[in-house]
A and B are shown apart, each in its own frame.
Chain A
Amino acid sequence: MKLQMVGCSHLTASVEIRQQLAFQPDDLASALEDFRLRFPNTEAVVLSTCNRVEVYTAAEDEGVSPSHEDVVCFLAEFHNMKPEDILGALFEQSGEDAVRHLFYVAASLESMVIGESQILGQVKKAYEQATLLGSTGPLTHGVFQAALKAARLVATHTSIHQRRTSVPAVAIAELSKQIFERLDNKNILLIGAGEMAEETLEYIREEGGTSITVVNRSDSRSEELAQRWQCRPARWDRLLELLVEADLVVSTTSSSEPVVTFENFKQVESRRYQRPLAILDLAVPCDFDPLIGDLLGVYLYNIDDLKTVCQRNREDRQKEWPAAEKIIEAETRSFMADLHHRATAPTIRQLQESCAKLKAEELERLFNKVPNINDPCREEIEYAFDRFINKLLHPPLDSLRKEASDGTPHALLEALKRLFKLKD
C-alpha cells in the first residue's frame, strides 16, 4: 500500500506559483474526475488553500499508485502549465512522512500563522468534497479522520489556537474585550471604509457589536460599506461630534496626516466627562495623535502596539509547539501501527483459512475412520483441533503483530508465505 502527498506550500513556493496551482471550488470536481480517469485504482484528496496546494493519493497496490512525476504532470496539465515550471516548487512526502505532514497541516503547525483555526475546516472540507465526489477510499478515510482527530487533540490539550495573531482580531477580540464586557450596547465608530475597515467590521460583528457608525471622507464609500454591513453611515464633518458619543473607535484611513489631532480631541474630551474610550488606530501613518493616549480614560493603541501584541501571541503559540508536536507524533505512531496491521491482514487471513481447511480435511478423515463417535466426543475433538491450531499460530502471529508496530513486516510476511506455501 502507498500513501503519498505531492504539493507546495508557502514554505516551498512563491505566491504566484501557489495562485497558479490553486483549484477554484468549481474546478475541484473536474480535477478529481480527471485524476480518477488517469489513475482508476488510486484514492485522492486535493487540499487547496491560499497557502498550500496538496494532492494526497493512496493505493493498496503500490504498482498502480501515481509517482511524483505523474502528479506533477497532472497538476501542470490541469492548469495549462509546463511540468518543468512547477517541478522545483512541488515537494513529495510518502508513507509515514505523508501521514505526519497531513497531521501537522490539520493541526495548523504548518500554517503561515501557527495555530490559525481556519485550516482545520479547510482540511475537513477537502476530505468531505473528495468523499462526495467518490475519490476517497479506506486509506484516505483512515488518514483524514485520524488527522482531524489529531488536530482536535492539539486544540484541546494546548493553547496554540487561543491567542489571536491578526491585527484586527487582536484589536477587537482581545483588547476591546479587556475594556468592555460586551459590545452590543456600545457606540462603535469606524473611521475609514477600506479593506482593513471591512475586515475589522467582521470581527466587531462576531463579538456582538451592533451600534456601528461608519465615517469616511468619501460619503459614497462609507454608505456602501454601511449598507453591506447594515451600519449607520455618517458625514465626515460630524467626526468630532461622533467621538463624543463613541465608546470604541477603530480608525483605518490611509490619510497621510493625523485625522484627529490632540487639539481636536481636547474639544471632545471635555464633553465626554472622562468616560472610558478605546481607540484602536490601525492606520499607517497613525490617524490619532499619540498624545491623546495620555488623557484620562483614553486607551489608545496604534498599529505598532497591536503588532507587538500579535508578535507576543505568536511567540506564546510557539511555546506550545513542543506539546503539540508530542501529540502529533503519538497520533502518527498510532495511525501507522494500525496501517501496518492492516497490511498483514491478508496474509493472516490466508494462514487462518489454510489451517481451517487442513483441520476440516483431517477431521473428515478421522470421523470416517471412527464413525461411532457420539456428538459430544465429536465436539470435543473439534474443540481440541481449534485449540491446537490457535496455539500453533499464536507465536508467528504475535511476532507479526510486534513487527508490524515498527513498519510493514515485509520479510516476515514473505517468510510466512513461503513456509506455509500461501499464495496471493
Chain B
Amino acid sequence: MSNISVVCFASSYAVALALEISRLFFRSGIRGALMIIFAAAGFLAQTLFLVARLTESNAGGWVDWYLLAAWILVAAYLYLTFYHPQNPIGIFILPIVLALIGAAYLLPATRGFTVGASAWGLVHGLALLLGTTVILIGFVSGLMYLIQSSRLKQKRAAWARFRLPSLEWAEKITGRCIVISAVLLGVGVFSGIAINAQSGKVPWTDPIVWGSGLLLLWLAVVMVFNMVYRPARGGRKIAYLTLASMVFLLLVLALTQLIPSEHPGRITTIAPNASTAMRDHLEQYQGGGGAA
C-alpha cells in the first residue's frame, strides 16, 4: 500500500476521462467496460491510499478532505456510469475529480482537524464533506440540464455519441442535490458552532466560519425560494441555482485557503516557537504533502 501514490489513481481517472472523451469521436464495444475498469482501479487505489493515510496520526487535514471529496465523487461516477452507460457523465464529473486531486496535491500541508477526534467533530467534518460533494453533483446535473435544454430549445440534433440524460432526470437530481446539500451543510455548520460553544467561544469573525455560514444561508434561501416560488422548483431556474451554489462553494473553498484562519487544520507555516516534535511532525507532513 505504501507504493500507492496520488499519481496512481489520478492517472487511472485521467485514462477513464480520456475514454469518456473518445465517445465523441468513435464507437467502441469495449470502451464502457474499460472506463469502469480504469475508474474502479483508481477508486480501489485511492481507497487503499486513504485508508493508509487516515490511520496516520496527522491525518484528516485539508489534503485528505479534498481527496475524500474526490473519492465520493468517483463512487457517484461509478454508480451513475453503471446504471446509465449511455450518458457521458464522466466528461462532467471526472474533471472535477482531477481538479480536487490536483488541489490536494498542490495544497500546502496542514495538520489534521482536531475536531475529528470527537463525535460531534466527526459529524461536523463528514456533514460538510458530504454537503460539498452533493453541491458538486448538483452542479454537474445542472450543467447537463442546461446543455440539454438549450439544445432542445434550439432544435439542434442530438449527438449520437454524446447522449445526455433526459431533462426530467437531470432536474430530479438537481432538485434533490439542493435540498440534501442544504441539510448536510446545516448539520455541518451547526455542529461546528456547537463544538465551539462547548469551549465557550464561537469564532464568528473567522473566514471559514462565516464563509460556510454564507454558503448555508445561500442554500437556505434557495430552498425557501423553491418552496415559495413554484416555477423555481424545476426547469432552468433550479439548474442556474445549482451553478450559483457551485460559485459560492468555490468562493468558500478559496477563503479557507487564502485568508488566515483560526480554524483547526489551517496552520500552513511552522511557528518559530513550535516544539521540536511538532516541527518534525509538520516538516515530515509537508514533505509528504507533495508526494501524497
Min CB gap A82→B, angstroms: 50
**Beta-carbon contact of A309 and B157 below 8 Å:** yes
Within 8 A of A (CB), among B163-199: 164-169, 171-172
Min CB gap B235→A, angstroms: 5
If over half of B's interface residues share one DSSP class (helix, strand or loop), that class is named, otherwise mixed; here it is helix
Q: A179-B166, A181-B168, A181-B169 are in contact. List 12 more A-B contacts (CB 8 A).
A: A159-B27, A178-B164, A178-B167, A180-B166, A182-B168, A273-B231, A273-B233, A276-B168, A296-B235, A305-B155, A308-B155, A316-B160
Min CB gap A153→B, angstroms: 14
Cα-based distance from A308 to B158 in the complex (angstroms): 12
**Beta-carbon contact of A274 and B158 below 8 Å:** no
What are 15 inter-chain pairs, A to B, with CB distance below 8 A? A159-B27, A162-B160, A178-B148, A178-B166, A179-B152, A273-B230, A274-B230, A274-B234, A275-B235, A276-B167, A296-B236, A297-B236, A299-B152, A305-B155, A308-B155
Instruction: Answer yes or no: B201 CB below 8 A from chain A CBs.
Output: no
**Beta-carbon contact of A301 and B148 below 8 Å:** no
Chain A interface residue count, CB cutoff 8 Å, equals: 25
Residues in A neighbouring B233, C-beta threshold 8 A:
273
Listed in ascending order, the chain B residues whose CB lies under 8 Å from chain A are 27, 148, 152-153, 155, 157-158, 160, 164-169, 171-172, 230-231, 233-237
0 or 1 for each of A181-209: is its CB under 8 Å from B? (1 = yes): 11000000000000000000000000000
Cα-based distance from A178 to B166 in the complex (angstroms): 4
Listed in ascending order, the chain A residues whose CB lies under 8 Å from chain B are 159, 162-163, 174-175, 177-182, 273-276, 293, 296-297, 299, 301, 305, 308-309, 312, 316
- Also in contact, A276 and B157, with CB within 8 A (given A181-B166, A181-B168, A299-B152): no
**Beta-carbon contact of B166 and A312 below 8 Å:** no
Report how many A-B pairs have Cβ atoms within 8 Å. 57
**Beta-carbon contact of B234 and A276 below 8 Å:** yes
Min CB gap A413→B, angstroms: 43
Min CB gap B234→A, angstroms: 6
Closest chain A residue, CB of each to CB of B167: A179
Closest chain A residue, CB of each to CB of B233: A273
Residues in A neighbouring B237, C-beta threshold 8 A:
274
Closest chain B residue, CB of each to CB of A296: B235
Q: Which among A180, A273, A312 has the greatest number of chain B C-beta atoms within 10 A? A: A273
Cα-based distance from A299 to B166 in the complex (angstroms): 13
**Beta-carbon contact of A159 and B160 below 8 Å:** yes
Q: Which among B27, B171, B235 has the greatest number of chain A C-beta atoms within 10 A? A: B235
Cα-based distance from A309 to B231 in the complex (angstroms): 30
Cα-based distance from A163 to B158 in the complex (angstroms): 11
Min CB gap A243→B, angstroms: 17
Residues in A neighbouring B152, C-beta threshold 8 A:
175, 178-179, 299
Cα-based distance from A162 to B152 in the complex (angstroms): 20
**Beta-carbon contact of B234 and A275 below 8 Å:** yes
Q: Which among A182, A274, A299, A312 has the greatest number of chain B C-beta atoms within 10 A? A: A274
Q: Which among B153, B155, B157, B169 has the greatest number of chain A C-beta atoms within 10 A? A: B155
Min CB gap B80→A, angstroms: 14
**Beta-carbon contact of B235 and A274 below 8 Å:** yes
Cα-based distance from A273 to B237 in the complex (angstroms): 12
Closest chain B residue, CB of each to CB of A299: B152
Closest chain A residue, CB of each to CB of B229: A273
Min CB gap B42→A, angstroms: 29
Q: Which of B157, B168, B169, B235 interacts with A297 by CB under 8 Å?
A: B235
Residues in B neighbouring A175, C-beta threshold 8 A:
152
Residues in B neighbouring A174, C-beta threshold 8 A:
158
**Beta-carbon contact of A312 and B235 below 8 Å:** no
Residues in A neighbouring B153, C-beta threshold 8 A:
293, 299
**Beta-carbon contact of A180 and B168 below 8 Å:** yes
**Beta-carbon contact of A177 and B230 below 8 Å:** no
Min CB gap B194→A, angstroms: 39
Min CB gap A192→B, angstroms: 22
Residues in A neighbouring B168, C-beta threshold 8 A:
179-182, 276
- Also in contact, A274 and B231, with CB within 8 A (given A179-B152, A180-B166, A181-B166): yes
Min CB gap A323→B, angstroms: 10
Cα-based distance from A174 to B233 in the complex (angstroms): 26
Cα-based distance from A159 to B161 in the complex (angstroms): 12
Min CB gap A10→B, angstroms: 27
The 4 closest A-B pairs by CB, nearest first: A274-B231, A273-B230, A181-B168, A181-B166
Min CB gap A133→B, angstroms: 40
Residues in A neighbouring B234, C-beta threshold 8 A:
274-276, 297
Residues in B neighbouring A180, C-beta threshold 8 A:
166-168
Cα-based distance from A293 to B149 in the complex (angstroms): 12
Closest chain A residue, CB of each to CB of B153: A299
Closest chain A residue, CB of each to CB of B148: A178
**Beta-carbon contact of A276 and B160 below 8 Å:** no
Closest chain A residue, CB of each to CB of B163: A178
- Also in contact, A276 and B235, with CB within 8 A (given A159-B27, A178-B148, A301-B155): yes
**Beta-carbon contact of A178 and B235 below 8 Å:** no
Min CB gap B239→A, angstroms: 12
Residues in B neighbouring A308, C-beta threshold 8 A:
155
Residues in A neighbouring B166, C-beta threshold 8 A:
177-181
Min CB gap B210→A, angstroms: 34
Cα-based distance from A133 to B117 in the complex (angstroms): 83
Residues in B neighbouring A179, C-beta threshold 8 A:
152, 166-168
Closest chain B residue, CB of each to CB of A157: B29
Min CB gap B175→A, angstroms: 13
Q: Which of A159, A178, A297 interacts with B158 by CB under 8 Å?
A: A178
Residues in A neighbouring B236, C-beta threshold 8 A:
296-297
Min CB gap B126→A, angstroms: 31
Cα-based distance from A297 to B160 in the complex (angstroms): 24
Cα-based distance from A181 to B164 in the complex (angstroms): 11
Residues in B neighbouring A177, C-beta threshold 8 A:
166
Residues in B neighbouring A309, C-beta threshold 8 A:
157
Min CB gap B89→A, angstroms: 15
Cα-based distance from A296 to B158 in the complex (angstroms): 20
Min CB gap A185→B, angstroms: 10
